[in-house]
Amino acid sequence: MIVDFHSHTNASDGTLEPAQLVAAMRKRGVGIFSITDHDTLRAYDGLDVDGARLIPGIEINTTWRGNEVHVLGYGLPLNDSPLTATLARNREARQARIARIVAQLRGAGYEISVADIAAESSGGDAVGRPHVARALVRAGLVSDIDTAFRKLLTSGGAGFVPSTHITPIEAIDVICASGGVPVLAHPGRLKDQTIVDDLAACGLVGLEVFYGTHTPGQVAHYRALAARLGLVMTAGSDFHDARWNARGVGMDVDEDDLRPFLELVA
């Protein structure tokens, strides 16, 4: 079956409008999917999915033990819940981080403003480094987004500011308190793999085994890990933009592998 439980719109750091993302899902034949914007549910406002099954989702940025850890939440209410205040807190932290990034870049001679970065977010709720990179490219200060990150926005760069997000345990707790299912995103990107075991002991329910850049070996490894830890398996492309995600939306996964997850969010 073709599914996609990890995708983004311009409500966070994707580039498609929510309706455009839905159209891309439909064209690919994705029958069940989630929009998992960073720290916001705004993409769901008035969204028409035209018969497809949509599972409300979120991606919460967290930090722990020197790792950036992303926790996905599924089956969430779209109205007020314990999650609302947590997302607002994360978005405020994002705005403060952007202000510091701008100040450091300007101090290093890169004339860019918070307004320039906000313009790249298309009014999105969750402004982040991808928007800074796009603003730098648009201003002609770097040649491309990859250069912006490599030269300026990662550790050691003039515009690098460490994130100050909540912990993954806090994210798991608030997702559960809101009636949702917490899943660890793209475990293959973790520097410290022991985090998976630790979070499984703290209420984590699922693992994103099938991911756009996971190798077959990684998929086999995380399948076995999910089985050992009693975690359900999920699948996601992490689609942001056709220029960055050449594979596009959708993941073709055996229905039996996803059934435990789908039963939880039915």
Q: Residue 252: which H helix or E strand, with range?
A: strand 251-252
Most confident of 9-18, 81-90, 121-130, 229-238: 229-238
Q: Does one domain contain both 141 and 208?
A: no
Backbone conformation region of residue 76, classed left if phi is above 0, alpha if psi is from -120 to 50, else beta: beta
Average pLDDT for 180-192: 96
**Among 153, 182, 206, residue at a domain's last position:** 153
Q: Does one domain contain both 228 and 253?
A: yes
Q: Does one domain contain both 50 and 143?
A: no
Phi and psi, residue 186, nearest 5°: 25, 70
**Among 95, 129, 153, residue at a domain's last position:** 153
Give the pLDDT of residue 210.
98
Is pLDDT of 101 > 70?
Answer: yes
Distance, in Å, from the CA atom of 76 to the CA atom of 8, rounded to the nearest integer, reads 16
Give me the CATH number covering residue 138: 1.10.150.650
Entry pTM: 0.90
Give the pLDDT of residue 147.
95
Start-to-end CA distance of the chain, whole Å, equals 17
Domain contains 109: yes
Q: What percentage of the chain has pLDDT greater than the value 90?
A: 78
Q: Does one domain contain both 132 and 254?
A: no
Domain contains 159: no
Q: Does one domain contain both 70 and 130?
A: no
Give me the CATH number covering residue 62: 3.20.20.140
Give the pLDDT of residue 245.
78
Distance, in Å, from the CA atom of 153 to the CA atom of 129, rounded to the nearest integer, reads 7
Q: Does one domain contain both 72 and 93?
A: no
Q: Residue 110: which H helix or E strand, with range?
A: none
Give the pLDDT of residue 124.
63
Domain contains 173: yes
Q: What is the pLDDT of residues 213-259, one digit of tens each?
A: 999 999 999 999 999 999 999 999 999 988 777 789 999 999 999 99
Q: What is the pLDDT of residues 135-185, one digit of tens each?
A: 999 999 999 989 999 999 998 999 999 887 899 999 999 999 999 999 999
Find the DSSP H helices in 112-254. 114-120, 129-138, 145-148, 168-177, 194-200, 216-229
Q: What is the pLDDT of residues 197-224, one digit of tens each?
A: 999 999 999 999 999 999 999 999 999 9
Q: Does one domain contain both 30 and 107?
A: no
**Among 126, 153, 180, residue at a domain's last position:** 153
Average pLDDT over the chain, rounded to an integer:
93
Q: Which of 204, 5, 174 is nearest to 87 (CA)?
A: 174
Q: What is the pLDDT of residues 73-85, one digit of tens each?
A: 999 998 888 999 9
* Count of structural domains, the chain: 2
Domain boundaries, position 104? 87-153
Q: Does one domain contain both 180 and 258?
A: yes
Give the pLDDT of residue 104.
97
